[in-house]
Amino acid sequence: MSSDKPLLRGRGEEERALLRLLDHARAGSGGALLLVGAPGMGKTALLDLAIAHAAPGFRVLRVSGVESESRLPYAGLHGLLRPVAAGAASLPGAQARALMSALESGTGAGGLTLPAAVLGLLSAVAAEQPVLACVDDVDLLDTDSREVLSFAARRVTGEAVALLFTAREAARSPEGVPVRVLGGLDAAAVRELAGDLAAGKVAEDLLAALDQIARGNPLALAELIASLTPDQLAGLAAPPVTLPKGGRLWREHTSLLAALPAEAQRLLLLIAADPGLDLPTLIRAARPSCALTVLEPAERAGVLHSVGDRYDFRDPAVRGVVYYGASLLRRRSSHRLLASLLGNDEQAGLLGDGGPTGLLGDGGPRGDSHRLRHAWHRACALDGPPAALADDLAAAALDAHPAHTHPEPYLALERAAELTDPHHPAKAERLAAAARYAWVAGRPQVARSLLARLRSLAAPDELRAHVQLLHGSLELLGGETGSAREELLSAATWLLESHRMLGVRALVRAADASYRAGDNRAFIAIARQAAALRRPDETVPTQLMFEYLAGMASTFSGSHQEAAAPLRRVVELAGSVRDPAVLVWACVASMLLGEDATAHRLSARAIEAARVRGAVSAMPQLLEYMIYPEIWMGRYAAVATTAAQGLRLAQETGQLNTAAQHLAWLAITAAVEGDQDTCRVRADAAIDLADAHDLAVAGAIGNWALAYLDLAAGRPADAANRLRAERRNSNHVVIRVMATPHFIEACARTGDHEAAGSALRVLERWVGSTRSPGLRALVSRCRALLAPPGEAEELFREALDLHGQGVYEFEAARTRLLYGSALRRDRRPGAARTHLHSALETFERYGARLWTEQARTELRASGDPVRPVLDVTTGQLTAQQLQIARMVAEGATNKEVAEQLFLSRRTVEHHLRNIFSRLGIRSRVELVRLMS
């Protein structure tokens, strides 16, 4: 796009629609298009873009609807056609008179005379040069002008005329005109737009918080970013909670709301003050009026819509405008009324109650949300002594379910802290609890800002230890691993006596920091420290954590047989555990035991438990641990989906360390598919993050992905050198073991049998401690690669027998490829072809292009007239091809698809060519029809 055209993010499909409209008009086959969208969605910007594309060559006419002129007949027509009104002289007399009468005095002739005159005038101007007529906010035009322009829009198909309209809603817009609705920008476009608007990079978690308000609205995002303070940009202050006052969108919404009746505004404020407000309560609040009747104007204006048994705002940003635009007195009055209504329910025995849980405890808060809502409204209304209000609100927040309540517990605890005397120790406790709940809810920036407020308050050592645990946990997933370990160890020292469960958890997290950094010695030292602290009366979750540390320490020491017993105990204990963070460690134990199906089942349990608890911050790491068994089982399509979801959530919640691992796993899936450009982009990004945050595990996975790519591309020497360097520079045992079969294969193919043999002995020790036929098959395959010619065949057969007992289908295909290659070199082409064809079929089904080509090369060398290349199974798409096809059918550009799926644009183009070929189509239009 040339520099004189406005750059719009995420509107590629709309831009193509505009270009088609202009191309048709240029060719004398005009048309019309209506763009519908909420204020700020970019309708006017798209008009500007159309005008930029139309220059030079088009005669451009433009008018904008104005509320104050909407009662003036033909005011809109006057604004649009005045520049070409002189052309009316060429029209038939009656038409010329009707047109001039409408433009000069606002009076129109009945029948077709005036509409025909407008169409004739546009046609006459288009005889000289094509015409682009743009009407912004057509729904604000006077009715007469809108009807005449609708007539013309339906009849320009044979003229060099393009009519382009925009409207906030289609109801008051030209009839019979094709409509394109502008939704919110997708995540990739939001990220791009933020980069355009901000002088420095906006952190992903901050951007996610802003988009909770903006919901993809470009103007809302622009105004929010412009309003950010330096502390908010640095992550030291909480992000905004509403649109900036005085901004264009705030004024637009305020103007719309001000036009509503006073009683409707009063009820809107109640709905804004309590998103969970049900219809029966709202009806009682509206008496003696009828709530349904009172709110009709708000529904007609597009402010509200009904959702089940309640009302909600169509545009979530309007809620903040309604609430924060009201005076403090009106807000307090609304809260007081809501508290009264909810309190009556409670007194009538309609609400339950539950006992409070520990302030910073591990159990998920429980109880009825009505109690919290009642306490919240009383606290916001200041309906009682502040200390009593704070006590009630804090107790209710700690007893509420964070996933299904208003307000979110962290907001309630923050409000309780504000109402608490600065010298009372409860103030610091409540701020600390609010920070923890904010973190659990996936709002790290809010958590950090709450922790910052604690620095100026006096707090006991035990509370400081709770705060250190939270701060260390934040650092573990988003900061430097060494710093996280020290914070967590310090927290454990204080907590082991006062809150043993949390103390042990701090130890395990400190060990996890060492694991991520690849510091096995530090991990083993922490495990030894923990072993000395064990007691006979530990709770089940605490027993599980101690066993986990013991088993992992033995694994890192190379004592795999010794590790098996505590790891099996971990898996046994997991049946009695509900805490998702503890279940994760059981997942790791299962994986190290070679029980991938169990590991996958446990990780799924952990994810579901976190979802039910509303533990948003836990999801990225839980998804990370689901990937390990999926990798072993060769479920690469599932890995790609899981890692993409995990990466998005990690970025939104500020967990850069977890994001690095998901990026690295996405690099692995690209390597499997043979997408070399995408693999390198993802791996390099993961390695860069790993270097910045001391993340040996992410770096090891990234380098493994690059080596895997080398091996698939037929560069075994490069793969061996890369993995050799990784083994020399990194001490991350788990990833080293996972990559060992590839290292042995690369070394065997380059003649380095000594290094391959040494690596095989380590692999044998671990696999010998498991019961996995799939892992034993890999060992047999590696032995076959290093065996003398006379012994290799038996080992390959043993590997295939073991593969038949397991679920490692992709690895079984790789074994067949290696076996077939060996048979072919042994001059047994017939036997080789059987295995090579089976391998080829699997590789094609997985969309593994480079492995497919290796299998084809071997088949050709064996004398097989291999069929022409087909991308996967005829008539079907791979999981990624299907995902791309759906995105394209929904209007995403190649660039947008590439950014959302972390692919290169060239890879997306390659996939699209294959999709078109496989489905027997030639264009995106046909794809849309087929996918719909």
Q: pLDDT digit string (tens) for 208-229?
A: 889 889 989 999 999 999 999 9
Flag whether 138 is in a domain.
Answer: yes
Single out the residue of 630, 636, 677, 632 nearest to residue 878, CA to CA.
636
**CATH at residue 44:** 3.40.50.300
Flag whether 724 is in a domain.
Answer: yes
Beta bridge partners of 307: 310
CB of 668 closer than 8 Å to CB of 704: yes
Whether pLDDT at 332 is above 70 = yes
Domain boundary (862, 886, 912) is at: 862
For residues 917 and 493, give the distance between their C-alpha atoms in angstroms, rounded to a whole number: 63
pTM: 0.77
Work out the percent of the chain whose per-residue pLDDT is above 70. Answer: 94
DSSP string, 710-743: HHHTT-HHHHHHHHHHHHHH---HHHHHHHHHHH
Flag whether 821 is in a domain.
Answer: yes
Q: Are residues 61 and 132 in the same domain?
A: yes
Beta bridge partners of 179: 34
Which is more confident, 899 or 625?
Answer: 625
Flag whether 805 is in a domain.
Answer: yes
**Range of the structural domain that residue 421 is part of:** 336-348+367-459
The helix (run of H) or strand (run of E) holding residue 230 is helix 230-233
201-215, 437-451, 857-871: least confident range: 857-871
Greatest CA separation for the chain:
105
Strand, coil or helix: 430:
helix
Q: Are residues 832 and 881 in the same domain?
A: no
Region of 163 (left: φ > 0; alpha: ψ -120 to 50; beta: rest) is beta
pLDDT tens readout for residues 646-687: 999 998 888 888 999 999 999 999 999 998 989 999 999 999
Q: Are residues 842 and 756 in the same domain?
A: yes
Q: Are residues 134 and 25 in the same domain?
A: yes
Q: Are residues 70 and 101 in the same domain?
A: yes
Q: Would you place residue 306 in the very low, low, confident or very high pLDDT band (cuts 50, 70, 90)?
A: confident
Q: How many domains does the chain fold into?
A: 4
Q: Which residues, 6+ apart, have CB-to-CB distance to 392 below 8 Å?
A: 375, 378, 379
Q: Which structure tokens are listed for 383?
A: 């309906």
pLDDT at 131: 95
pLDDT at 506: 94
Single out the residue of 146, 165, 141, 171 nearest to residue 299, CA to CA.
171
- Burial (Cβ within 10 Å: 0-12, 13-18, ≥19) of residue 576: exposed
Which is more confident, 924 or 879?
Answer: 924
pLDDT tens readout for residues 825-865: 988 998 899 999 999 999 988 889 999 999 999 999 988 87
Flag whether 728 is in a domain.
Answer: yes
Which is more confident, 605 or 899?
Answer: 605
**CATH at residue 827:** 1.25.40.10
Whether pLDDT at 728 is above 50 = yes
Q: Which structure tokens are listed for 211?
A: 């988009």
**CATH at residue 894:** 1.10.10.10
Q: Are residues 166 and 53 in the same domain?
A: yes
Q: Are residues 820 and 922 in the same domain?
A: no
pLDDT at 518: 84
Q: Are residues 40 and 131 in the same domain?
A: yes
CB of 815 closer than 8 Å to CB of 777: yes
Flag whether 478 is in a domain.
Answer: no
CA dihedral 375, 377, 383, 384 (to 10 degrees): 20
CB of 695 closer than 8 Å to CB of 657: yes
Q: Would you place residue 402 in the very low, low, confident or very high pLDDT band (cuts 50, 70, 90)?
A: low
Whether pLDDT at 147 is above 70 = yes
Whether pLDDT at 355 is above 60 = no
Single out the residue of 283, 284, 265, 262 nearest to residue 273, CA to CA.
265
Flag whether 636 is in a domain.
Answer: no
Single out the residue of 573, 148, 597, 873 nearest to residue 585, CA to CA.
573
For residues 686 and 192, give the distance between their C-alpha atoms in angstroms, rounded to a whole number: 20
pLDDT at 932: 59
Q: Are residues 148 and 17 in the same domain?
A: yes
Instruction: Tell me the average pLDDT across 710-719.
Output: 94
Q: Are residues 127 and 86 in the same domain?
A: yes
Q: Are residues 901 and 834 in the same domain?
A: no
Whether pLDDT at 349 is above 70 = no
**Which residue type is seen at 375?**
A
Q: Are residues 66 and 170 in the same domain?
A: yes
Flag whether 82 is in a domain.
Answer: yes
Which is more confident, 903 or 480?
Answer: 480
Strand, coil or helix: 144:
helix
Q: Which structure tokens are listed for 315?
A: 């545009």
Domain boundary (819, 840, 862) is at: 862
Q: Would you place residue 869 in the very low, low, confident or very high pLDDT band (cuts 50, 70, 90)?
A: very low
Domain boundary (819, 839, 862) is at: 862
CB of 442 closer than 8 Å to CB of 206: no
